[in-house]
Structure 1
Amino acid sequence: MWRRILIVVLILVGVALVWGMFSLPDYMTGVHQRSVTQSLSDWKVEYSKIESHDAVRAAEMLEYVKGYYVPAEGYRSTPEIEAALESQRQDTIDAFVAALREYTNKDFGEDSEAWLANLRTSDSFDLSREEMNEFSKLVDALSEEHSIEKALAARSELVSASKQAFPVLLNRLNDQTYTHIEFLGSVSTTDLPSIGQVCFEILRIQIEGRWLKGMIQFHILDQSNITQWVNNHSLKSLTEMRQIALTQAIQKVESQPEDEIESKYAKEFLRFLRDKKSYIEKPGYDFGKPEEDPFDEF
């Protein structure tokens, strides 16, 4: 009798194991899918309205959600379930982008790296949303649609704002809107200058100072690297930024072949850079007074 009971028990255990082998993956898949659904729902609610303290986190989460729940090949599910989860994931991504767009008044779509660069620059310069908007209006005023008097006044205000205006100027570097021909002398172009070019020159002259055009090949900053350079040094004061930029420029000239460094032209240029560097290293140097500071002259 006991043998029969043991046989029955073993048969039941075997059936349970076989059932488990086929049912457990489906069960675990269901649990995981419910977990994914809940997580996406929670994130959508959490980041549908962004405050300053979680803006960067929202951009980081945007990147995470873009790669979230991508089933591996052979994953047990159905096309209907996968389509529903993918739709929910896209809804969550769209909610993140909409919230970031509302918070910043910018639109980088689903490009999380662009959002992060924008937010980290703004945070490093401790700008409020209202200040960002005011500086944006000043940049808009550089357009040829406005009078030259208004455009010049706007540029003057952007210069006076010093480092605080940098985030907005960086964000507008690719603005192709035409500005006034009067700005032609301050940008490196033979065409009608754009707002982006004027923004770049405001940034470069404030950081590197005004150089002779024949020295342009030794500039540290250009359109391709200025955003990264400023972000890397955003916690520095403007004076410190200038010291770093001039040091790098001096090193760039000194790295040229010896016969070129020994030329009269190179020696004069090195003297020019070293004089500028000595000037800003003087005790009491005040970059807040443009009329006394050759770096801010236009």
Structure 2
Amino acid sequence: MTLELDAIPDLDNPADADRVLRLPGALNLRDVGGYPAAGERRVRRRTLLRSAAMHGLGDEARATLAQIQVRTVVDLREDTEVAHEPNALGRLPITTVRMPLYSSGSPLPATDAATDAGTGEAGENAPGTGAAAAEGVRAAQAAGLEMDLGAIYTFILDNKGDRLTAAVLALAEPKALPAIVHCSAGKDRTGLTIMLVLDLLGVPDEVIVRDYALTAELLHDEAIAALRRLTAVTSGAGDARKLPANLMEAPPELIRAALDRVRASHGGARGYLLAHGATAEQLDALTEALLVADDPA
């Protein structure tokens, strides 16, 4: 079967002409292979992919995943999301690793004012908890406020490092690759996970930022629909159609700030992952599995 692929001109070099996989039911599915990395190497092709949820996959898309020989899917979604839209992998011999980044509530903290309006000072509604975030969503929606996407990323990095690390380490398991990492829209949770992997591999910051920003170009209406469903399912928001306009943005400065935060606190992705349970041997094995020598041609 011939893959249906498209180029993303702003990211292309001669080695990156087939980055995006445009397949029925597969949204925001793309390969991070081919990116330049440390030591005059590149990320191995068709080995690590990122995606939105895969509940809409049909026979054609499943055949493509079989052709790529995908072995592992790392699903970052919550139990409620998975129950609502389970992945349609069929009988493919793929191991699904469930790694939800939140234990309760919504992953979408609102502006400070909205969050303060919807939370108490202690207990399960205390600021920074899932319940507080859920209340923030409701308050922001009711007031028509924008979501603080930077706060989402800060919350994940500061509070969910163990789960982010476990998601990355799932890729280091023997025979785990090729693998796909995904959440609902393939933007925020997936974006941070892939950011850590690419920084670990020594991919230049500008490439990491541009890879993250591709979501805004590749996925809009479909991702908004996915996030509406996510908000309704995880936060209990009354009107899931009433989403803040900025929720589907992928501003480059957000992922730059996330990189800066990881560097400031841990010296980079390697230090961050080591601090949250990874071993040097695991990270070295993942690096070797994901990198190949650069082809000067």
Classify the TM-score, shorter chain: under 0.3
With normalisation by structure 1, the TM-score equals: 0.24
Higher strand share: 2
Q: Which has the larger radius of gyration?
A: 1
- Give the structure with the higher percent helix: 1
Greater RCO, 1 or 2 (C-alpha within 8 Å, sep 6+): 2
Q: TM-score, normalised by structure 2?
A: 0.24
